[in-house]
Amino acid sequence: MFSILQEYFSYAFVVRALYVGIFVALCSALLGVSLVLKRYSMIGDGLSHVGFGTLAIAMALNLAPLQVSIPLVLLAAFLLLRVSENSKIKGDAAIALISSSSLALGGIIIAVSTGMGADVCNYMFGAILAMRISDVYLSIGAAAVVLILYLIFYNRIFTVTFDESFAKATGTKVGYYNMLIAFLTALVIVVGMRMMGAMLISGLIIFPALTSMRILKSFKSVVITSAVLAVICFFLGMVLSLIISTPKGGNIPPGASIVAVNLGAFCLFLIIGALKKWNAGRKLRQDLKEAAK
Amino acid sequence: MNILSCRELYIKYDAKAVVKNVSFDLKDGDYLSIIGENGSGKTTLMKSILGLIKPVAGHIEFQGIKQIEIGYLPQQTSIQKDFPASVLEVVLSGCLNRHGFLPFYSSRDKKRAQENLENLGIDQLKRKAYCDLSGGQQQRVLLARALCATEKVLMLDEPVTGLDPAASEELYTLLNKLNSEGIAIIMISHDVKSAVKYGSKILHLKTEPLFFGLASEYGKTDVGSKMLRGETHV
């Protein structure tokens, strides 16, 4: 098995995918903690579907995908936040609306222009081969932006996530930070989408945060563990997608195997968390018994 | 000395007037309870004092403090029920308003948070998870956070809601102690009896003020005695 892996890792496209994936996984895990806690988990899902629609447009018009996707998905992120704050259509409904509309629009554009083919499947579920050297630079750039901003604003992000009213009352511009998180999320989604697939990139955002919250109880530990977990799960998932070949001679899409590994980690943490709780309860009952004696 | 004066406040919310003709002064060391039925504009008034809602007319003036230096204890949100945060992280976040653009907490902030933890008797809880605490302990943590943000005024939005009688009593005692140490308190309350017992001033609101004055005078008025006998529901 190791020799197969060694062979794979000698290919430039695999190494590129590894770089892109690690940076994207790291960033999405960091942003995911805030998104999950603020009940914005579906924003990632909505934005990735918008991303699919924009890719279809780019394909049809023969334009570079990222140049079309980045501004449009950023715009969608802005609209989603505005809409969910102000309008009569509430947050989750607004996201469902935008997300299915852009998926439908993307489907129509593809059918009319290039026709449904292997390309579409790649966009939906991810393709390792799609990573170019420009993607590596872009993902490093995006990761640097996310990491630096996250570090600088870490305490403010915590305060805004934990208690918006208090943050506002003590002079933090809450709207700006919500917007910042949405924009960074949009950026990460566009960069990671072609590797993970539009259907599955949101898994990368929500899973690490949800998994680490099963066991850990402080914000800092959840943030750090999410980042570490995301990178480990990404790596394992990618290795699985490389070495397992399907009966038809293909490979499992990387997006799918990465999300599957994340699901495995989530279940593991869920069980550990439940055991910990049970153990604490047992100890408490024992203590009470002894106190009663 | 006045630290806050409100003049002829007129506040709208969703195109409806919710607060009208409210004028009052808050002096150093005052303990003001704002009472009134649901929908009488209490929370709206508090939010506009905090600068979260802009009044349509009238003005709010602070002396000796800035608007962002008010210690605020909002109602708890559903998000906080399963939020992974240690007590220390929550309390420290109260120091954020004195920071400007500094990204991290200074050692002075940490000292301040530590002092407030000790002052409120929750120092032993500081490594615990906020969501694992009891309701009364959580309110103390939020109080410690509010105290990190202020030296002069605390604003509390129904702090005893959801607490059992013993925990409410403890919270009232704690507030009295802070008040006697020189911190002015503005509190929205449903508990008229405690408001009269512990507070120094009462503002009874029903869009317009029905009563504003000393707590000891409140029981002598018509509206006040009815409230205290429980004939009108708050």
Average pLDDT over residues B77-82: 84
Residue pair B73/B56 in contact by the 8 Å Cβ criterion: no
* Residue-level pLDDT at A85: 67
Do residue B68 and residue A222 have CB atoms under 8 angstroms apart? no
Q: What average pLDDT score do residues A279-288 get?
A: 87
Task: Give pLDDT, residue A123.
Answer: 80
Testing the interface with A: which of B60, B83, B153 to mutate, by most A Cβ within 10 A?
Answer: B83
Q: Hey, what are A247's tokens? A: 């009966």
Supply the DSSP string of B34-66, one letter for each residue.
EE--TTSSHHHHHHHHTTSS--SEEEEEESSS-
**Looking at residue A27, what is its pLDDT?**
92
| Distance from C-alpha of A198 to C-alpha of A256, rounded to nearest angstrom | 11
Paired strand residues for B155: B72, B186
For A34-48, give the secondary structure using H, E and C. Answer: HHHHCCCHHHHHHHH
In one-letter notation, the amino acid at residue B11 is: I
Q: Which of B94, B190, B86 is nearest to B148 (CA)?
A: B94
Query: Would you call A168 and B149 a contact, using CB atoms and an 8 Å cutoff?
Result: no
Positive or negative, the CA dihedral A154, A156, A162, A164 is negative
What is residue B193's predicted lDDT score, i.e. its pLDDT? Answer: 83
* Mean pLDDT, rounded, of chain B: 86
A163: contact with B, CB 8 A cutoff: yes
Buried residues in A115-146 as b, exposed as e (16+ CB within 10 A): eeeebbebbbbbbbebbeeebbebbeebbeeb
A111 or B14, which is more confident: A111
Range name among A280-284, B148-152, B222-226 with the lowest pLDDT average: B222-226
User: Exposed, middle or buried by CB within 10 Å (0-12, 13-18, 19+), for A164?
Assistant: buried
What pLDDT was estimated at residue A84?
Answer: 65
Residue A65 pLDDT exceeds 90: no
Q: What is the mean pLDDT of residues A231-260?
A: 87
DSSP A97-144: HHHHHHHHHHHHHHHHHT-SSHHHHHHHH--GGG--HHHHHHHHHHHH
Q: Which residue has the tokens 């852009």?
A: A102
**Average pLDDT score over residue span A16-28:** 90
Q: Phi first, then psi: give them for residue B64, nearest 5 degrees.
A: 85, -10
Minimum mean pLDDT range among A54-58, A114-118, B4-8: A114-118
Q: Using the structure block, give the residue that is written with the tokens 């608007």.
A: B67
Mutation pick from A87, A163, A180, A219 vs chain B, by most beta carbons of B within 10 Å, is A163
**Residue in the structure block whose two tokens are 């001033």:** B201
A111 shares contact with chain B (CB less than 8 Å): no
The string of pLDDT tens digits covering residues A75-132 is: 988 888 777 666 666 667 888 888 899 999 998 988 888 777 767 777 888 877 777 8
Q: What is the percent of chain B where pLDDT is above 90?
A: 22
Instruction: For residues A231-237, give the mean pLDDT.
Output: 94
Strands, sheet with B153-157, edge to edge from the N-terminal-most edge strand: B71-73, B153-157, B184-188, B31-35, B201-206, B208-214
B92/A217 CB distance under 8 A: no
* Contact A262/B at CB under 8 A: no
* pLDDT value of position A59: 83
Chain A residues in contact with B68 (beta carbon < 8 A)? 169-171
Q: Which of residues 75-104 of B touch A (CB under 8 A)?
A: 77, 79-80, 82-86, 89-90, 92-94, 96-97, 103-104
**Residue among B134, B132, B126 nearest B83 (CA):** B132
Q: In chain B, which among 21-80 make CB contacts under 8 A with chain A? A: 50-52, 67-68, 70, 72, 74, 77, 79-80
Q: What is the mean pLDDT of residues A204-227?
A: 95
Q: Helices A201-213 and A174-196: crossing angle, nearest 10°?
A: 120
Percentage with pLDDT > 70 across chain A = 96
Q: What residues in B contact A152, CB-CB < 8 Å?
A: 103
Total beta-carbon pairs less than 8 A apart between chain A and chain B: 90
- Overall average pLDDT of the A8-22 stretch: 87
Q: What confidence tier does B234 reach under pLDDT thresholds 50, 70, 90?
A: very low
Contact A14, A128 (CB under 8 A): yes
Enter the tokens of residue B230: 């429980």
Judged against a pLDDT cut of 80, whether residue A239 lies above it is answered with: yes
With tokens 């919500």, the residue in question is A178
Region A265-277: what's the mean pLDDT?
94
Task: Report residue B68's pLDDT band, with 50, 70 and 90 as the boundaries.
Answer: confident
Q: Of A166, A173, A214, which to mutate for an interface test with B (greatest number of B Cβ within 10 Å)?
A: A166
What average pLDDT does this structure show over A176-185? 89
CA distance B65 to chain A (A): 12
Q: Name the residue among B198, B212, B205, B201 with its Cα closest to residue B45.
A: B205
The span from the CA of A253 to the CA of B154, in Å, is: 56
pLDDT tens digits for range A128-163: 777 788 888 888 888 899 999 999 999 999 999 999
pLDDT value of position A270? 96
B165-218 tens-digit pLDDT: 888 888 898 899 889 988 899 999 888 888 888 888 889 888 888 888 888 888
Q: How far apart are CA A159 and CA A169, in angstroms?
A: 11
Residue numbers of A between 143 and 162 with CB closer than 8 Å to B: 151-156, 158-159, 161-162
Question: Is A9 at the interface with chain B, CB within 8 A?
Answer: no
Q: Residue B224 corresponds to which amino acid?
A: G
Give the nearest chain A residue to B85 (CA atoms): A218
The answer to whether the CB atoms of A169 and B51 lie below 8 A apart is: yes
Within 8 A by CB and 6+ apart from B211, the residues are B202, B203, B204, B218, B221, B223, B224
Q: Which whole number is the average pLDDT over A55-78?
A: 86
* Single-letter residue type at B212: F
Q: Determine whether the interchain pair B67/A222 forms a contact, defined as Cβ–Cβ distance below 8 Å.
A: no
Q: Which pLDDT score is estimated for B206? A: 86
Residue of B60, B11, B75 whose CA lies nearest to B205: B11
Contact residues, chain B, for A167 at CB < 8 Å: 96
A162: nearest CB among B67, B90, B129: B90
* β-strand pairing of B184-188 with B153-157: parallel
CB A203 within 8 A of CB A24: no
Q: B139: which residues sit within 8 A by CB, 6+ positions away?
A: B73, B159, B160, B163, B167, B171
Average pLDDT, chain A: 87
Give me the pLDDT at residue A119, please.
73
In angstroms, the CA A221 to CA A115 distance is 47
Distance between B229 CA and the closest CA of chain A, angstroms: 35
Nearest to A230 by CA among A6, A42, A33, A37: A33
